[in-house]
Amino acid sequence: MIDPITIKDVKLKLGELCRKKRQSYGLSQEDLGEVLGLSRYTIQKFESGKNATLDTVLKIVNHFGLLPSITKEIDQEIANQNNISLY
Amino acid sequence: MIDPITIKDVKLKLGELCRKKRQSYGLSQEDLGEVLGLSRYTIQKFESGKNATLDTVLKIVNHFGLLPSITKEIDQEIANQNNISLY
DNA sequence: TATATTTGTGTATTATAATAAACAATTATG
DNA sequence: CATAATTGTTTATTATAATACACAAATATA
């Protein structure tokens, strides 16, 4: 039995992704917060895997160009849901 | 020029996905809230595209078995980030 | 090494998500 | 049609995310 993915895991991964993306652009937490209209503290907390609001997450994700792939994923799940009774 | 995906769009899509998934399991908003330890009002607001916390989103997403695919996506982006300077 | 920058952490305050309860409007069921 | 169940929407309260500020620790730069 493999250990299941937890919500905490996902939050930590999201934080890690934010940090790596941010650093790849040479931005400080302060810089990123400023362009997104968020405080440095909010970025700091997000990157360390703390809870956040969906708006904060999507602002960050959007800034790094990941909104299309997320949208695609959601659209696929919705489409998949509509077909599920056909099998 | 195609119209870009907005954060509002994504929130609406997430709400739609929750509603469809929930209904496919024959659950009321009340039912879903109960199993997730959330109030019906929180489910109601999420399904109508309002802002929410990451914990709330991930609880819902997790309940419908979508955490692995999200994790995979994040992992891919992190890996992709590590490789980006190779090109 | 010395200085500057960035990051982690603390405290207090503000904004807002989450809860609880009630009621009307809608939708499903007998 | 009548009744039950579900959903949408309010109001008030509580919990907590976000902000602003300061300061120490860590990291990068001259």
Q: Determine the average pLDDT of the residues in A20-49.
A: 98
Residue B40 pLDDT: 98
Which pTM value belongs to this model? 0.94
- The whole-number pLDDT of residue A1 equals 81
Who among B10, B51, B82 is closest to A53 (CB)?
B51
- Round to whole Å and give the CA distance between A14 and A39: 18
Q: Which residues of B touch A51 (CB under 8 A)?
A: 53-55
Contact B71 A13 (CB under 8 A): yes
Beta-carbon count within 10 A of B8 CB: 12
Considering the segment(s) A7-82 as one domain, its CATH architecture is Orthogonal Bundle (1.10)
Going B62 to B66 to B72 to B73, the CA torsion angle's sign is negative
Predicted local distance difference test score (pLDDT) of residue B52: 98
| Boundaries of every domain in chain A | 7-82
User: pLDDT tens, B28-87?
Assistant: 999 999 999 999 999 999 999 999 999 999 999 999 999 999 999 999 999 998 876 555
Please state at what angle helix A40-47 crosses helix A29-36, rounded to 10 degrees: 110
